[in-house]
Structure 1
Amino acid sequence: MTGKINSYKDLIVWQQAMDLAVSTYSLTKTWPKEELYGLTSQIRRSATSIPANIAEGYGRDNRGSYQQFLRIAQGSLKEFETHLQIAQRIGVATHGRAEHLLLAAEAIGKMLRQLIIKIAPK
Structure 2
Amino acid sequence: MKANSFEELLIWQKAIEIGVEIYSLSDQVPLKSDYKSRDQLIGCAISISNNIAEGFEYNNKLQFIRFLGYAKGSAGELRSQLALLVKVNRVSEETYLKLKEELIVLSRQIKALMTYLKNKKE
Q: TM-score, normalised by structure 1?
A: 0.92
- Give 1:76-115 correspondences, 5 Å limit: 76-115=74-113
**One-letter code of the match for 1:90?**
V
Give the aligned partner of residue 24 of structure 2.
26
Shift of 1:39: 1.1
Shift of 1:61: 2.5
**Is this contact kept in 2: 1:87–1:93, CA < 8 A?**
yes
Separation in structure 2 between the aligned mates of residue 53 and residue 82 of structure 1, nearest angstrom: 19
After superposition, the CA RMSD in angstroms is: 1.3
**Is this contact kept in 2: 1:31–1:40, CA < 8 A?**
no
Give the aligned partner of residue 7 of structure 1.
5
- Give 1:12-91 correspondences, 5 Å limit: 12-32=10-30, 33-36=32-35, 38-91=36-89
Separation in structure 2 between the aligned mates of residue 56 and residue 102 of structure 1, nearest angstrom: 24
Give runs of ≥4 in structure 1 deviating > 2 Å: 31-34
**One-letter code of the match for 1:13?**
I
Give 3-state SS (helix, strand or coil) of 2:70's partner: helix
1:45-74 per-residue CA deviation (whole Å, 9 max, x = no partner) reads 000000000000000131111111000101
Shift of 1:34: 4.3
Q: TM-score, normalised by structure 2?
A: 0.92
**One-letter code of the match for 2:57?**
G
